[in-house]
Structure formats: structure tokens, C-alpha cells
Structure 1
Amino acid sequence: MAVLFAAAGHITVFAAEKKPSAIYKVDTDKKIVALTFDISWGEKVPDPVLDVLEKEDVKKATFFLSGPWTQRHPKIAKRIQSMGYEIGNHGNLHKDFSNYPNSWIRNQVTLSEKSIKQVTGVKTKLIRTPNGDFNPRVIRCLNAMGYTVIQWNTDSLDWKNPGVQAIQQRVLKRVVPGDIILMHASDSSKQTAQALPRILHELKQKGYKFVTVSELLSEADVKTQVN
């Protein structure tokens, strides 16, 4: 979009500023999906989730880790990295970014980034904000730090522990090509590991392949939204 101004016989074109966006899915005809897991606390759920992924031979997924969790559970964080899964940033304190100034946001993201790098050796480039909270200002701040903000198109609602079957049906009914699927591997999500096998089996049967978020973003025509 552009705005035209005419003055003294001259036309000046000013390009409209692009609205800052978070990524929810990618428009593609390919049957590919990005399975993502947020982790902010606990050590009981992550290993069983990783065990299921390993057993089902799912080699591509993206884990968004908080800084404090990574420091408290370095063994699990290193296992995620050693299994070849992509690691993203999930912030430091689990608080809504939109309630705080940019200086606070930069500090929180930097703290988490340093924690993850110290434990796993990974320099994060993707971020999922705590609670998925953001506004245009937050996205501009994170983009300026070199981060891409990742949301989701299919929410498993596994953190509500609605029942294994409910989690499975919610994901399987909503998934579309190019999807980003939100799940959790924090201890509050007690049914995720039990729900995963059927989700993985049926998606495979439908012809879906699992990719990392970064691989998904390499697809053309990224579909974005902003709250």
C-alpha cells in the first residue's frame, strides 16, 4: 500500500508502514505441520513427551523454553537439543509482555536467551511470548532484537487437562497444511504425553510430515495476524 501526495506538479510516494505481525501458520498445499511445545516449569512431563516423540520416530519439533526452567533442568534441556529438536525462547518470568515497557521486555528476553545458550549452546531466534500475549509495540520490540514472534493456529488446550480424548480430537479436527500446533510439556499439562501417540499416528496416516517452525517458515506466503 502506498500514499500519494501531489505538490507543485510533483508526486511523492510514501510507502505505508507494515503492521507488525506474529506468525500463526503458513499458506501451503504441502501436508506439513510444526509441532510445538512450551515449557516453563516441572520435570515430570518433559521426558515422557520426549520418549513418545522418540518412540514414534518424530524427529522434527520446536520447543519454546523459559530461561529459569532451562537453568533448573539443564539435563532435560540438553536432551531436547541432543535429539535434534529446534529450541525457541519463551521468556524469563511468565508474565504478559504487553503490561511492561520495552526495556523490561528486552531484559527478560536477554536473560532467557543467555540461559538457553549457556545450557544448550543454542542462540534463539524464535520467540513465543508467555501466555501468547503481545501487541504491535511488543512485536516491534522483539523484531528489533532479531526475533520472529510465533503463535499457533491449532491450540490443543492440553494445559486445561480436558481429557486425553478431548486433546486428541481438538488437534485432529483442526489441523490444516502449514499449521503450527500448540502443546505444552510443563508439569501442569498432565495429559499431553498420553494424548500424543494417537495424534502422531493419525496425522501420519493422513499424510502429514512434521517440520520445525524454521522449516515451516521457509515456505512461501507466510500468513500472519496481529492482535
Structure 2
Amino acid sequence: MKKIKRYGIIILLAFFCALFLWFGQMNPLSVFSTDNGPQALSRGDDKASAVAVTFNISWGTEKVHQILEQLKKHEVKATFFVSGEWAERHPDLLDKISEGEHEIGMMGYRYISYLEKEPEQVRKDLNYAKEIFGKLGYEEIHLLRPPHGHFNKEVLTIADKQGFDVVQWSVNPNDWKNPGTEKIIDDVMKESSKGDIILLHASDSVKQTPKALDTILPALKKKGLKLVRISDLVAGTEANAKEIK
């Protein structure tokens, strides 16, 4: 009996050690933290056959419906980065995004470049955005895409201290400029490969993105790529961070 108990304890300890190591590998926070301080994620692991489709929203309500329809049609889960100001004005749409099992990240409260703000203003903007999302029932948001994608080391440090992971992109077809449906499709298809983070928009400024998605989403799948959310892309992978000097 003593031997059985002893072996049982050893097996139990081994199990918990393995579980601890497994969770450590699955923790996406390790992707954003390095010996040189917090970093911004620019793309995932190019060994994994997956890309993350992301959308920015800071104003308007029309295009987000069309984009959600395309994502549903092609059975794709994406990550939406929304400003706190937009979320506050359109909580019903925020809920609709979440109900579609899409991931929600934030772009602070007001869509103004953090490089135009003093550090304390950046802190206030992030704090206020956190408060707004919390009131709307989204207390656990940890992904941040700074307005216009502008940031420096100081912004990264502020974001990190407030519990945010900064996410950039590696593929940008500039769909907000409305360069033409075919141009958007060509740029995404030519540039996208394993591990990429694709930047698209769901604000009302985009006129051609919903139609382009009807071609892009199935075409990416035909390339053998799985279309995932940011958290799925980084979980258990060695992702690439963007170094800011």
C-alpha cells in the first residue's frame, strides 16, 4: 500500500508538472514580452498554416453588417479592433460581433494617434476605454491596436503596464482608400502567407471590402491557410514581434 501511495503521488506530481508546462506554452503573453521589454506583435509563426484576419472600426454602422455576413457565409472567425467611442455609441453592434464568436480588441477610446498625446493622456485614454468596455460587459479585453497603428517604446510600456498586448499587422491592402475590389483581392492574395496578420477595415469608409472578402476568404483557404483570430494565431507558437527603437 505504501508503494502504491508513493507511486500515486509521483504520478500525480508528474501530471501537474506537465500541465503547468503545457499552460506555459499556451500562454500568448510570452509572445509580447521579451528581455528588451514589451513588443508589438506583427505576425505569427510562419511554421503554422494560419493567418489572422483583423478589422478596424472607428465610425459608421453600415459596412460592419455586410462584413459580418461574409464572415458567417465563409465560416471565418476574425478579430475586430474597435474604438471605445464607437463601442459606446453602438453596443448592439459590439454584441453582434461577439455573438458571432469573433474576438474583440480595442483601439483606445478616441481614435487619435498616441504619438500626438503626452504619456499621461495615453494612460487616461486607455483607462477610460477600459472603463467603457467594462460597463458594456467586456472586462477581459487585452488586445490593443493603437490608433492609426502609431506607437513607440513609451506607448508599449504604458500599454503593457495596463495589461494590454499591442497588435500590428503584416499585410495591409489599404482597403480604406478604396483602390478597387480587384486591387484589394490581389494585394491580400499576393502578400499573405503562413503566420500573417491581415489588416482590413469595417468602418463606413470602405466601399469595396465586403465584396472583396467574398473572394479573399475562400481563396485563402484554398491556399491551405486556416483563418483564425489573433489569440488562436499566437497560442502555442513562436510569433514575431516588432522592435521599436
Same fold (TM over 0.5): yes
Alignment partner for residue 163 of structure 1, among 180, 183, 201?
180
Distance 2:38 2:73 in 1: 39
Residue by residue over 1:190-210, the C-alpha shift from the partner in whole angstroms, topping out at 9 and shown as x without a partner, is 211111010001001111111
Q: Which has the higher strand share?
A: 1
- Residue 55 of structure 2 corresponds to residue 28 of structure 1: no
> Is 1:89–1:109's contact at 8 Å kept on the other side of the alignment?
no
Partner of 2:140: 123
Distance 1:80 1:110 in 2: 23
TM-superposed deviation, 1:30:
1.9
Alignment partner for residue 56 of structure 2, among 35, 38, 42?
38
Q: Which has the higher helix share?
A: 2
- Mapping 1:7-22, distance limit 5 Å: 18-22=36-40
TM-superposed deviation, 1:171:
0.5
Residue by residue over 1:77-132, the C-alpha shift from the partner in whole angstroms, topping out at 9 and shown as x without a partner, is 11001111100011111111122222211111122222223224342100000000
Alignment partner for residue 65 of structure 2, among 47, 50, 60?
47
Partner of 2:152: 135
Q: Which runs of 4+ in 1 moved over 4 A?
A: none
> Is 1:125–1:148's contact at 8 Å kept on the other side of the alignment?
yes
Residue by residue over 1:145-194, the C-alpha shift from the partner in whole angstroms, topping out at 9 and shown as x without a partner, is 11110000001210111011101111110001111110000001121111
TM-superposed deviation, 1:20:
3.7
Q: State the one-letter code of the partner of 1:222.
A: A
- Residue 63 of structure 2 corresponds to residue 63 of structure 1: no
Distance 1:109 1:98 in 2: 14
Aligned residue for 2:67, secondary structure, equals: helix
Partner of 2:219: 202
Q: State the one-letter code of the partner of 1:35.
A: V
Unaligned 5+ residue runs, structure 2? 1-33
Residue by residue over 1:35-94, the C-alpha shift from the partner in whole angstroms, topping out at 9 and shown as x without a partner, is 000100001110000011111111x21000111111111111110011111000111111
- Residue 104 of structure 2 corresponds to residue 104 of structure 1: no
TM-score, length-normalised on structure 2? 0.82
TM-score, length-normalised on structure 1? 0.88
Q: State the one-letter code of the partner of 1:203.
A: L
Alignment partner for residue 91 of structure 1, among 101, 104, 108?
108
TM-superposed deviation, 1:19:
4.7
Unaligned 5+ residue runs, structure 1? 1-15
Q: State the one-letter code of the partner of 2:123.
A: R
Identity fraction in percent: 36
Give the alignment's Cα RMSD to 1 decimal: 1.5
Distance 1:125 1:63 in 2: 12
Distance 2:87 2:171 in 1: 26
Distance 1:77 1:151 in 2: 21
